[in-house]
Structure 1
Amino acid sequence: MPRLMNGAELAGEIVERAAKRAASFLEKTGRKPCLATVLVGDDPASVTYVRMKQRRCAGAGVESRHVQLPAATTTAEAVAQVRELSEDPAVDGILVQHPVPAHVDERAVFEAIAPGKDVDGVTMHSFAAMALGEPGFLSCTPGGILRLLDAHGVEIEGKHAVVIGRSPILGKPAALLLLARNATVTVCHSRTADLKAVVRTADIVVAAVGKPEFVRGEWLKPGAAVVDAGYNPGNVGDVDFKSAEPVAGWLTPVPGGVGPTTIAVLLEQTVEAAWEGNSTPR
């Protein structure tokens, strides 16, 4: 029976600390830290995620400003809106909800976010900072994954980590952050030969492939720490929990694992952005 990596408990601790810093910011500046969310279109899952983030903002003492754009919004219009938020001194962090409609150039919209307000860690500036070990905001889900591993005493240095998935906002930054912690990292994807054999060598598995219950227990090395970064219809992740449970040493539940830590890191980085963008002494 694996030990579960409880993201909800860890997230509560992160948000509690962020809320104290947000209250201090309010006391010193007269305003709350502000997170602006931008949603293009009305994808039901995205709408739900944004509402959830707004509720979590309220609980952390962070102001939430929501910008809803029509599904027909062009790339140029979305970029202009994000640039306006970037130039607004009352906005500390900007989150562009992923995914955007297919006709919108998501990368162009991301790059309109000022680096100091990229609290979701999606710009090229943030990616380069993660790669080079320079100061900057982390991609929230990968950042939350490392916090989960650390909080549960999972050793990273010297271990073989396999990341399944290479998206620019999850798989790739997760690999960079693990590499920075001295893990030996293999990134797998749809063209990887004999994926099962590669996963079998991993001490740490990060499943970020976007396919329900894709990773099976028989693929796993006994005792491996398994992080399920997927969320699919039916409240299931990218790992088949039932078959992984007897094999894994550590395992994240879905829901209740990676998701809560992602939002907690987002709020923490928003508060940090507020302090960094304000000249008031701490």
Structure 2
Amino acid sequence: MITIDGNGLAAKIKDELKSEIDSYEIKPILAVITIGDDESSKVYVNNKKKACNYVGISFLHFDYVSFVKEAEVIKKIEELNKDNKVSGIIVQLPLPKGYDVNKIINTINNNKDVDGLTNESIGKLINKEDGFIPCTPKGIMSIFDYYKINLEGKNVVIIGRSNLVGKPLIQECLKKDATVTICHSKTSDLKSYTKKADILIVATGIKHLINKTMIKKDSVIIDVGINKVNNKLYGDVNPNVEEKCSYLSPVPGGVGPMTVVMLLQNTLTAYKKINGIKNE
């Protein structure tokens, strides 16, 4: 069984990004908008800030109180859209209740939508057009590429249908000619699907939902879940699957670091498009 080293792969990509960004006189800028005081969001934003600082991306943080008027946030996004120095814009989710998430996200200019969450970005993803892929699915596909895990003709089962992970992953796996099944909270007899999976991607936020009795021998298991219990992190997959699977992404240290580094990659891509820099 091979443990997927998300930390190591992310570090390698970060060094490559740093080397390229060091060659530019004017640096990319990532603008991050937060609303309220969600503790998990604070941790994620801090991780993004550290990663940006490491590779040389300037980090602008606009931190609003939980009762800020929606119009004020939208006005700020519109300002950032017009600012050519700003390469990428993200709104850290989840937002407090009462805000129109769809309206706020879709205010972001598609060329700066480095989280890949606007309706236009999703449309481009479905139609195989050039656009930004959401960071977690992009990180998972990078893991497959790096470890030479071939998806062609394989049964890929995705558990979770969120806009952030599950839905974009369907499109990305189809691009690789996989046969894709999507399961969710209303799926009956989940085990009957997971037992057939050559590649199982689990993104539910339910601690140890999957165990060794539910998987196929020599399958590839990608654990996207992050569950905090008594200050300890657990995935959606019980570590006992190690006895049967061929690859396993651990929690922490698997998909998480890759999600952050894909945001950096998308921000650099946006910067290059805005500045007319072509890939060598």
Global fold match (TM > 0.5): yes
CA distance in structure 2 between the partners assigned to 1:108 and 1:238 by the alignment = 31
Q: Which residue of 2 aligns with 1:10?
A: 9
* Match status 1:60 vs 2:59: no
AA aligned opposite 2:245 = A
CA distance in structure 1 between the partners assigned to 2:70 and 2:221 by the alignment = 38
CA distance in structure 2 between the partners assigned to 1:156 and 1:280 by the alignment = 32
Offset at residue 75 of structure 1 (A): 3.0
Q: Provide runs of 4+ in structure 1 moved above 6 Å.
A: none
Q: Which residue of 2 aligns with 1:240?
A: 238
Q: 2:47·2:260 contact (CA, 8 Å) conserved in 1?
A: no
Question: Equivalent residue of 2:90, what SS?
Answer: strand
Q: 1:168 to 1:280 in 2, by over 3 A?
A: closer
Aligned length: 276
Render the CA deviation track for 1:114-164: whole Å, top value 9, x for unaligned: 111011111111111111111011100000001111111211111010000
Q: Which residue of 2 aligns with 1:262?
A: 259
CA distance in structure 2 between the partners assigned to 1:22 and 1:274 by the alignment = 10
Find the partner of 2:194 among 199, 203, 206: 199
Offset at residue 20 of structure 1 (A): 2.0
AA aligned opposite 1:130 = L
Query: Higher mean Cα deviation, 138-147 or 67-76?
Result: 67-76
CA distance in structure 1 between the partners assigned to 2:138 and 2:28 by the alignment = 21
Q: Which runs of 5+ in 1 are unaligned?
A: none
CA-based RMSD = 1.3
AA aligned opposite 1:202 = A
Write the mapping of 1:92-107 to structure 2, written as runs, cut at 5 A: 92-107=87-102
Write the mapping of 1:1-282 to structure 2, written as runs, cut at 5 A: 2-26=1-25, 31-233=26-228, 234-241=232-239, 243-279=240-276
Identity of aligned residues (%): 36
Query: Higher mean Cα deviation, 121-130 or 248-257?
Result: 121-130
AA aligned opposite 1:268 = Q
AA aligned opposite 1:8 = N
CA distance in structure 2 between the partners assigned to 1:158 and 1:142 by the alignment = 19
Render the CA deviation track for 1:61-97: whole Å, top value 9, x for unaligned: 1000001011112333322222221221111001111
CA distance in structure 2 between the partners assigned to 1:140 and 1:155 by the alignment = 20
Question: Equivalent residue of 1:245, what SS?
Answer: helix
Offset at residue 52 of structure 1 (A): 1.1
Instruction: Give me the TM-score of the superposition, normalised by structure 2.
Output: 0.95
CA distance in structure 1 between the partners assigned to 2:41 and 2:18 by the alignment = 25
Q: Which runs of 5+ in 2 are unaligned?
A: none
CA distance in structure 2 between the partners assigned to 1:205 and 1:43 by the alignment = 30
Question: Equivalent residue of 1:276, what SS?
Answer: helix
Q: 1:74·1:103 contact (CA, 8 Å) conserved in 2?
A: no
AA aligned opposite 1:135 = D
Offset at residue 281 of structure 1 (A): 6.8
CA distance in structure 2 between the partners assigned to 1:22 and 1:258 by the alignment = 24
